């Protein structure tokens, strides 16, 4: 499938954002660990969350989490402590080539019974659940925060609790903090005891009614559209976001303030999700340097935005991008060249654009590599590249299922080719 996108002349829209996938997935796992009967409200309707809901509801012997990396990591830990149960956890062909040995090794150290069904170090996994002892565990701080979060969430169920020591540089710390915050919302005693150590006490979770905040990652694409739009009266309203959000990608509001987008929160009661209004500020930095180590999922959004605004950039902290849904560093370099921008990488962990251009050639469309964020981040480029085409646009269901409908309601013309 291919979509051809024509952007509206002005940007005026109120977007209904999806619920946060990150919080939804954490709340569902904790809900299961609590033996809960009250499902969280406003759950994300994306593919990644749906596979967890289906697995928890149907409890099949073979659980196929498809392309959901978060689900693979979280379910591996969850199934390890489901006493008396045995499951095979598998996914797409791409998922079978995404390494999981660091998490498996850590769980085995705690006593988990996990066997590789195929290639060593990769899914599928055969998991036989039983209660684990817990105790002290050391892991590298620069592994995926999803591995760390998976370990933390089972901490309250371990007989000795969990003391998790993160060695070396710690990446994606906001995602770890989000996990700890969500755990505490369900009664866990979990906190940083020093800069590199997290202590989780052994005590049961409490099931409770819980409402999920909307998604700051999804909001980032509307910020991108506002930055690229050129109308004097352009305005986008986003509902259900919190000013003091624990979502790591809420940093998008600060970074986009450097690229000419002003964020205004409506006055509301403390902690209640509210309305956010985006407008042009008229001020944009001449060059942007930023370390995305704490919010790597925003990288595609800012690579596209900066290049189309003519803002040279140097982005660091991107080491995890190569093991996402695709090798995002390679994909970005290839697809940005189609739009006429020559981007370089450094040590597979940095991306640089110094203003170098080449002849654009995007007639065959932007490839998405089975990666939702490639489609989500490149679609707003239609504001600067008329009739831009996106290949396999259906990949957005992984995190933002109604994205194309939202663009249509905003005035984008989208035709299937």
297 carries an active-site annotation: yes
If you average pLDDT over residues 273-285, what whole number do you get?
Answer: 91
Is 245 labelled as part of a ligand binding site?
no
Reported as a pLDDT band with limits 50, 70 and 90, residue 244 is: confident
Encode pLDDT of 192-227 as tens digits: 999 999 999 999 999 999 999 999 999 999 999 999
Q: Which of 297, 367, 371, 406 is catalytic?
A: 297
Judge whether 145 is annotated as a binding position.
yes
| Percent of residues, the chain, with pLDDT higher than 70 | 98
What is 390-402 written as a DSSP string?
Answer: EESGGGGGGT-TT
pLDDT band at 396 (very low <50, low <70, confident <90, very high): very high
Q: What is the pLDDT of residue 376?
A: 98
The ranges assigned to domains in the chain are 2-19+213-416, 21-200
Identical fold, 2-19+213-416 and 21-200: yes
Cβ-Cβ contacts under 8 Å for 265 (sequence gap 6 or more) = 243, 274, 275, 276
337 labelled binding-site residue: no
pLDDT category, 298, cuts 50, 70, 90? very high
Would you state the structure tokens that stand for residue 241, as one six-digit string?
């976001």
Comparison of pLDDT for 201 and 271, the residue scoring more: 201
Q: How far is CA 95 from the centre of its chain?
A: 16
For residue 376, is the peptide bond before it cis, meaning its omega torsion is within 30 degrees of 0? no
Judged against a pLDDT cut of 70, whether residue 273 lies above it is answered with no
Which of 29 and 275 is assigned the larger pLDDT?
29
Cβ(379)–Cβ(394) below 8 Å: no
Among 166-175, 256-265, 285-294, 406-415, the range scoring the smallest mean pLDDT is 166-175
Q: Is 398 annotated as a binding residue?
A: yes
What does the pLDDT look like over 40-89, one tens digit per residue?
999 999 888 999 999 999 999 999 999 888 999 999 999 999 999 999 99
Q: Quickly state the pLDDT bin for 252 (edges 50, 70, 90).
A: very high
Q: Is the dihedral of CA 393, 396, 401, 403 positive or negative?
A: negative
pLDDT tens, position by position, 79-134: 999 999 999 999 999 899 999 999 999 999 999 999 999 999 999 999 999 999 99
Tokens of 236: 């986008």
d(CA 315, CA 333): 13
What is the Cα–Cα distance from 89 to 117, expressed in whole angstroms? 9
Is residue 172 part of an annotated ligand binding site? Answer: yes
Residue 271 or residue 25, greater confidence: 25
pLDDT at 242: 87
Burial-class residue 195 by CB neighbours within 10 Å (0-12, 13-18, 19+).
exposed
For domain 21-200, which CATH number applies: 3.30.1010.10, 3.30.420.40, 1.10.486.10, 3.65.10.10? 3.65.10.10
pTM: 0.86
CATH superfamily of 2-19+213-416: Enolpyruvate transferase domain (3.65.10.10)
pLDDT at 268 exceeding the cut of 70: no
C-alpha–C-alpha distance, residues 174 and 205, integer Å: 22
Confidence of residue 270 (pLDDT cuts 50, 70, 90): low
In this prediction, residues 311-335 reach a mean pLDDT of 91
pLDDT at 371: 93
C-alpha closest to that of 236 among 10, 58, 68: 10
**Inter-residue contact 146 to 74 (CB < 8 Å):** yes
The model's confidence at residue 171, banded by pLDDT at 50, 70 and 90, is confident
Q: Where are the beta strands (DSSP E) in 217-341?
A: 235-241, 261-265, 274-280, 288-291, 313-316
Per the prediction, the chain carries an average pLDDT of 94
- Six-digit token pair at 315? 């982005």
Give dist(CA 152, CA 156) in Å, integer.
8
Q: Is 98 annotated as a binding residue?
A: yes
Cα distance between residue 303 and residue 377, in whole Å: 9
Contact 147, 106 (CB under 8 A): yes
270 is in an annotated binding site: no
Name the residue with tokens 């905040």: 213
Confidence of residue 344 (pLDDT cuts 50, 70, 90): very high
pLDDT at 323: 74
The mean pLDDT of 137-162, rounded to a whole number, is: 95
Is beta strand 235-241 parallel, antiparallel or unpaired with respect to 12-15?
Answer: parallel
Separation of alpha carbons 21 and 26, rounded Å: 9
């Amino acid at each position: 499938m291919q979509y051809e996108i024509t952007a509206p002349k002005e940007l005026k829209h109120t977007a209904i954002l999806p619920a946060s996938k990150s919080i939804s997935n954490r709340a569902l796992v904790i809900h299961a660990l609590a033996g809960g009967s009250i499902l969280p409200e406003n759950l994300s309707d994306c593919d990644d969350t749906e596979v967890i809901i289906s697995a928890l509801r149907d409890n099949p012997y073979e659980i196929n989490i498809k392309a959901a990396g978060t689900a693979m990591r979280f379910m591996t830990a969850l199934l390890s402590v489901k006493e008396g149960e045995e499951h095979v956890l598998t996914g797409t062909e791409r998922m079978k080539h995404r390494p999981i040995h660091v998490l498996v090794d850590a769980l085995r150290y705690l006593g988990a019974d996990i066997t590789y069904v195929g290639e060593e170090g990769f899914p599928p996994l055969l998991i036989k659940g039983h209660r684990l002892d817990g105790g002290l565990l050391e892991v590298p701080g620069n592994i995926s925060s999803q591995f760390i979060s998976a370990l933390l969430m089972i901490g309250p169920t371990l007989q000795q609790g969990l003391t998790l020591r993160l060695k070396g540089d710690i990446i994606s710390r906001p995602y770890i903090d989000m996990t700890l915050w969500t755990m505490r919302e369900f009664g866990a005693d979990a906190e940083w005891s020093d800069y590199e150590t997290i202590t989780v006490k052994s005590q049961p979770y409490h099931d409770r009614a819980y409402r999920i905040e909307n998604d700051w990652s999804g909001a980032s694409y509307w910020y991108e559209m506002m930055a690229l739009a050129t109308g004097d009266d352009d305005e986008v309203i986003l509902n259900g976001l919190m000013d003091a959000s624990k979502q790591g990608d809420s940093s998008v509001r600060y970074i986009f303030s450097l690229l000419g987008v002003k964020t205004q929160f409506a006055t509301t009661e403390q902690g209640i999700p509210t309305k956010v209004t985006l407008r042009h500020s008229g001020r944009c930095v001449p060059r942007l340097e930023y370390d995305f180590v704490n919010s790597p999922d925003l990288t595609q959004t800012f690579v596209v935005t900066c290049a189309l605004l003519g803002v040279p950039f140097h982005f660091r902290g991107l080491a995890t991008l190569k093991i996402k849904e695709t090798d995002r560093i390679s994909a970005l370099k290839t697809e940005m060249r189609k739009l006429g921008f020559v981007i370089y990488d450094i040590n597979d962990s940095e991306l640089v654009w110094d203003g170098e251009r080449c002849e654009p050639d995007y007639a065959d469309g932007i490839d998405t590599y089975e990666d939702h964020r490639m489609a989500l981040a490149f679609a707003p480029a239609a504001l600067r590249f008329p009739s831009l085409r996106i290949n396999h646009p259906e990949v957005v269901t992984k995190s933002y299922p109604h994205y194309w409908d939202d663009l249509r309601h905003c005035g984008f013309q989208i035709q299937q080719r």
